């Protein structure tokens, strides 16, 4: 149910603010090869378990990586690598992810500044860890423009549970019916629904329109179309 006017927008990060495969596609191959020492006996099976196409250097629509936390991704890696300590894997993943070049879905500084000028409260809710998420937003020059930024490890849980989104409401003083969750995965949309928010899906992740449309109030090509949707 859409209740307008919308006063708050909370964004997913990967696949929403940043194009998912353009950002993580080639980067992921480097990580997978490094962790398996490029051993073909482990490289291909790990890629398959992750839902990653080695030849195309892209994640598949059904990839568990799209909506998983880094803890869950580390557990998938463990059977295929020599590392026995998931916390060591997680530390390496977070350190490498913080340095990964982010491909913006739109010019983000201009886009987020324009939304702020409308008087909107803005947030980011990601299943990434908070530290690399903040690093990505800071590199784009937009971290300080958000009223609320949380990762799966920030104390609000992860999506599809609604804790992160309800935390946004607590901090901003808005009700869920005044807010919209914008994301690229069904997990994002389910989190928005569970919180009682309007939901908008974007196609800059790996899920297609057919998969997202039954769950979201609207499906947009990218966040570039969001201002027009908000003004409807």
Tokens of 204: 């800059």
Q: What pLDDT shows up at residue 232?
A: 74
pLDDT of residue 100: 87
The pLDDT, as a whole number, for residue 58 is: 95
φ/ψ (deg, to 5) at 154: -95, 0
Question: For position 133, what pLDDT does the model report?
Answer: 95
SS3 assignment for the chain: CCCCCCCEEEECCECCCECHHHHHHHHHHHHHHHHHCCCHHHHHHHHHHHCEECCCCEECCCCHHHCCCHHHHHHHHHHHCCCCCHHHHHHHHHHHHHHCCCCECCCHHHHHHHHHHCCCEEEEECCCCHHHHHHHHHHCCCHHHCCEEECCCCCCCCCCCCHHHHHHHHHHCCCHHHEEEEECCHHHHHHHHHHCCEEEEECCCCCCHHHHCCCCCEEECCHHHHHHHHHC
Pairwise CA distance, residues 145 & 198, whole Å: 22
Per-residue model confidence (pLDDT) at position 2: 67
Return the structure tokens found at 121: 């409260």
Q: Which domains does the chain have, with CATH numbers?
A: 8-19+104-231 (3.40.50.1000), 21-99 (no CATH)
Give, for all 232 residues of the chain, the pLDDT tens digit: 566 689 999 999 999 999 999 999 989 999 999 999 999 899 999 999 999 999 999 999 999 998 889 999 999 999 999 989 999 999 999 898 888 889 999 999 999 999 999 999 999 999 999 999 999 999 999 999 999 999 999 999 999 999 999 999 999 999 999 999 999 999 999 999 999 999 999 999 999 999 999 999 999 999 999 999 998 7
Average pLDDT, the chain: 95
Q: What is the pLDDT of residue 118?
A: 94
């Amino acid at each position: 149910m859409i209740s307008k006017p919308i006063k708050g927008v909370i964004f997913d990060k990967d696949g929403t603010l940043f194009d998912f495969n353009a950002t993580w596609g080639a980067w992921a191959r480097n990580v997978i090869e490094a962790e398996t020492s490029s051993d073909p006996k482990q490289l291909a099976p790990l890629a398959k378990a992750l839902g990653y196409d080695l030849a195309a250097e892209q994640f598949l629509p059904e990839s568990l990586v799209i909506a998983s936390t880094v803890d869950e991704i580390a557990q998938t890696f463990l059977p295929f690598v020599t590392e026995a300590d998931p916390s060591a894997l997680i530390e390496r993943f977070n350190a490498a992810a913080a340095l990964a070049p982010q491909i913006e879905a739109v010019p983000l500084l201009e886009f987020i500044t324009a939304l702020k000028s409308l008087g909107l409260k803005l947030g980011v809710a990601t299943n990434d860890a908070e530290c690399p998420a903040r690093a990505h937003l800071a590199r784009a020059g937009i971290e300080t423009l958000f009223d609320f930024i949380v990762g799966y490890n920030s104390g609000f849980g992860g999506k599809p549970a609604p804790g992160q989104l309800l935390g946004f409401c607590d901090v901003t003083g808005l009700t869920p019916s005044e807010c919209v969750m914008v994301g690229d995965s069904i997990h994002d949309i389910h989190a928005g629904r569970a919180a009682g928010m309007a939901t908008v899906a974007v196609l800059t992740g790996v899920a297609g329109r057919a998969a997202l449309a039954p769950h979201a109030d609207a499906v947009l090509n990218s966040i570039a179309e969001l201002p027009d949707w908000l003004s409807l």
